[in-house]
Structure 1
């Protein structure tokens, strides 16, 4: 028996829609410079994050979860590619172990050769949106819609001018592929007051409602930037925290998380939506009184100590993830990539090495992969590695062990003289070893002559040797430009007359729109 063509068409269309509606939705919430110790569930004494604390009690807490780098751009590239920055190109070779951003003097961005998570999800019928901070390149070829996202509302974090509380920097705000305005002017941020986080929340809620109405599986990458200085919170949250403006910001973000989870429940799709909350790197200690808390951990953003890369992380999936659990599985933002592919049923491309592994066995069944290692990079250098509860530093920013223990001259913004320093000491021949279970603050190096040191270091050396044997660095994208002239303007900029092309007056100096 043969069906008429129109019946076959409707049958296939129904099967496609039915299959799509059964696919789990994915929401990744990535904060900006939020510290491990900023949430009540992680021990923050003010207890001002009730929604995130509730999310943890209804889901699973991951206290041993790491960023891909102690800096924004490389960490975000790691999340979306499942690969270390040294592999995906988000590093620099300008100087040894130099951290690299993508601001005025950077010419690179995410390469076409990298396959981002939303591009893979598209093969299963997903629609994807990024809200907030992109930070993987400013030029048209690097924008989100060129790399798998269907929608974009936010900023590339391109600093066309000073970035401080006193100035009005030209930071473009995009709607999809076109610039629609600027931070601090079209989306005002004045003396720490702005409705931008509320706009980001509403954008997220509308996207969820729209895709659910269309019976479409979705990926929402919600990446607000309010906890990155200069801080901002809406008027309703001003002065409501015991922690000053930074606490106000955290309370507003916590409220946003609560509203998004409530929307999932309202739409009755919470059991079909996997949500993960984390941060791109540790709190920025250089911000001092306007920064977050890294809890018991040493240092913060830009460093490869625990405070720079261990992040507050919660996974939530009612009906799938048992409530009130804690997993000490080592994890990183690169594992988000592998976990999402595992949830959706997509095989990653086989032509490259991935650093992420699926966390589903740990999230759903409590299994622990004891062979998992965490590699801590700055620029082109592997600074440290964690295997189990042991962490070995191959490079630090100290002149001696005594200075290391005293905390002198190695925590950016936190040394006794107040001078930022990046002086490094090579411990490759005899790495500094710490047991993070009994010494999470990395204060007491294990003596290299002890039996414990000799036994633990054997496994670590093996892990490092295997890692480096399989390491093929990507083309560095964060090198400071020299003879390149960046004479361009964001798409749509000319329509609003807010961003002019800079003259190429000096071919040896990067020039940018202003």
Structure 2
């Protein structure tokens, strides 16, 4: 279960004061929580590419080299997508006899060669893009929603989102798709992989009518409450079907909460900044594992984890090995889940083509700092609202590699208090962190950047199946050019 822009502090179990996530809090009580679990990137597309490939975006190509340290993703006009040479998790599970379904947001390329059914999934209900719009289908086409290989309609046309009230039935559709899939798989007896990638907590926010106005947190809280309801329905279905004790459920988010959205975004708890940044708020995720009779209830794991670890862990549980011909960044968490052990590993924080920071144990070193440019900040785009830490939340890209900024993020999770370079603590720890960086860079072979080129001609003008719905539109002439990534 992968949420979209949901922050570490959005769940009751992680301290959200309104305690409105009753099902997720119960899931945590019955399973294991990971307070130090991370995405592989502070933005949606690269994070999702890393989850499904087990590899950092710098390796799998989900980055841009158009400019230094820029976040990039897959909007409608992107020409790239997940490369064929990446071997995705569902591809290997498919070979192992699993039936695979993705529900919700794909975001790894919108042209048909990049679609989920080309990369190991048997079924799909959702969209290649986020639910932006509405558009006019002349300058910009509305974004399609797919049922398997063909579109079933478009956002704001066939799949309605009321831009005034936020009302939409999309989450209910995503819940029902999950329940129907689980019933079919339980009936067949075949193993399954369900990737529930819902996106109601990404702007523009939406929730179905029964949930509108229910939360004390406003529209964002309404969306969270409905997703929590969906988690409860899915868990109850697993129990009802008698397959819960043979099913690992893993809940997390693709990146930190969009703090720039202010009250329309989530909470990153005690952590600094949010989505788009490599501070803790941008990449530390609310994470729960649940597996009745296998994972002991009520546990807290202090393992430093990554969404990339799901690749290696799920393959191990399915009796398969990761490809041996490439570097896989995810580690096997099987023993962590079963015995609550810990494995020391460095964690690398990338923004675009730049390694911004590294964590080892409780220490984190910033090689570069940057929130966003002063020009963008002056337009009202603030990735760290209410959080100004001198020489840390910089609006210029500051190169600290000669003397990295060091933090102990156990006692200082908000990255507020820099450990001074003249202290013994700094001298004893910075060398270990930089050695990890040196070892990482020694074996790094960047992938071909997929997020450099854009062309309006490749937008969702005539997706597969559009002719059956009378929704094929005229594309402009092709005009490839470098994408602009201001952040």
Q: TM-score, normalised by structure 1?
A: 0.87
Moved more, 360-369 or 273-282: 360-369
CA deviations over 1:449-479 (Å, ceiling 9, x no partner): 1000011101101100000001000000011
Is 1:471 equivalent to 2:471 in the alignment? no
CA contact (8 A) 1:398 1:425 kept: no
Alpha-carbon distance change, 410 to 463 in structure 1, aligned in 2, over 3 angstroms: farther
Shift of 1:503: 2.1
Is 1:45 equivalent to 2:17 in the alignment? yes
Task: Report how many residues are paired.
Answer: 468
Which 4+ stretches in 1 moved above 6 angstroms?
none
2:207 to 226, 229, 233: 233
Output aligned runs, 1:97-246, within 5 Å.
Answer: 97-157=69-129, 170-190=142-162, 191-246=165-220
CA contact (8 A) 2:131 2:204 kept: no
CA–CA distance in structure 1, aligned partners of residues 311 and 471 of structure 2: 36
Output aligned runs, 1:47-446, within 5 Å.
Answer: 47-157=19-129, 170-190=142-162, 191-370=165-344, 372-397=345-370, 412=383, 414=385, 423-446=396-419
CA deviations over 1:354-412 (Å, ceiling 9, x no partner): 00001111111111112x1111000000000000000000000279xxx9xxxxx9952
2:430 to 434, 450, 457: 457
CA deviations over 1:70-90 (Å, ceiling 9, x no partner): 000000000000000000000
CA deviations over 1:301-321 (Å, ceiling 9, x no partner): 000000000000000001100
> Structure 2 stretches of 5 or more lacking a match?
375-379
> Structure 1 stretches of 5 or more lacking a match?
1-28, 404-408
Is 1:491 equivalent to 2:464 in the alignment? yes
Alpha-carbon distance change, 150 to 93 in structure 1, aligned in 2, over 3 angstroms: same
Q: TM-score, normalised by structure 2?
A: 0.92
SS of residue paired to 2:406? strand
CA contact (8 A) 1:59 1:314 kept: yes
CA–CA distance in structure 2, aligned partners of residues 447 and 509 of structure 1: 41
CA–CA distance in structure 2, aligned partners of residues 397 and 129 of structure 1: 38
CA–CA distance in structure 2, aligned partners of residues 158 and 480 of structure 1: 19
Alpha-carbon distance change, 422 to 72 in structure 1, aligned in 2, over 3 angstroms: farther
CA–CA distance in structure 2, aligned partners of residues 223 and 122 of structure 1: 19
SS of residue paired to 2:308? helix
Alpha-carbon distance change, 182 to 246 in structure 1, aligned in 2, over 3 angstroms: same
Shift of 1:250: 0.4
CA–CA distance in structure 2, aligned partners of residues 222 and 208 of structure 1: 12
CA contact (8 A) 2:272 2:387 kept: no
Give the corresponding residue for 1:3: none
SS of residue paired to 2:235? helix
Shift of 1:288: 1.1
CA contact (8 A) 2:23 2:232 kept: yes
Shift of 1:508: 5.4
CA contact (8 A) 1:410 1:421 kept: no
Shift of 1:485: 5.0
CA contact (8 A) 1:30 1:222 kept: yes
2:473 to 496, 500, 510: 500
CA contact (8 A) 1:51 1:258 kept: yes
CA–CA distance in structure 1, aligned partners of residues 396 and 469 of structure 2: 45
